[in-house]
Structure 1
Amino acid sequence: MPFTKSDYLGSYTPSQLDTLQSAYNEVCHILNRCPLTDENREVLARTVIRVYEQGQKDPHIIARKIAEIEELLF
């Protein structure tokens, strides 16, 4: 999973990592993508982080926002 890498440990608390992972898993589900093998998983993970760092802390809202943007672009 994208948010269990040592790259993120220390930058985020375990609770924050759980939120990020939850949002990532939910957006993958909404977009019908495999969270482990999708070729764009790193881009999607960075997008989750960006939305989180802009102040949105609810994983469900993060996932819906990203899904809406993805659906508009593709």
Structure 2
Amino acid sequence: MPFHKSDYLGIYKPEQLNTLQAAYNETCEILGHCPTTDENKNQLARTVIRIYESGIQDPHEIASLILQIENLRP
């Protein structure tokens, strides 16, 4: 999982990390990606963080936005 508490503790509170992880997991499930072995997992994690930091903090909304972004890609 890309959101190891030791890597992000101090940057995010534990409950924020839980939200980020939940958004990441839901996004992986929707897109059919393996959350631990997908070759683009770090890029996906960064996208989750950017959306979260833009003010959208609901995991379902984050996953939905990422799905919309993926559907726009050729």
- Counterpart residue number, 1:65: 65
- Segments of 4+ in structure 1 off by > 3 A? none
1:20 aligns with 2:20: yes
- Quote how far apart the aligned CAs of 1:5 are: 4.9
Instruction: With the length of structure 2 as denominator, give the TM-score of the two structures.
Output: 0.95
**Normalising by the residue count of structure 1, what TM-score does the alignment of the two structures yield?**
0.95
User: What CA distance in whole angstroms lies between the structure 2 residues aligned with 1:63 and 1:19?
Assistant: 11
Identity of aligned residues (%): 65
The answer (yes or no) to whether the contact 2:48–2:62 under 8 Å persists in 1 is yes
Larger CA deviation: 5-14 vs 48-57 = 5-14
Residues 3-12 or 37-46, more deviating = 3-12
Offset at 1:4?
1.1
Deviations 1:20-49 (A, max 9, x none): 000000000000000000000000000000
Unpaired runs of 5+ residues, structure 2, are none
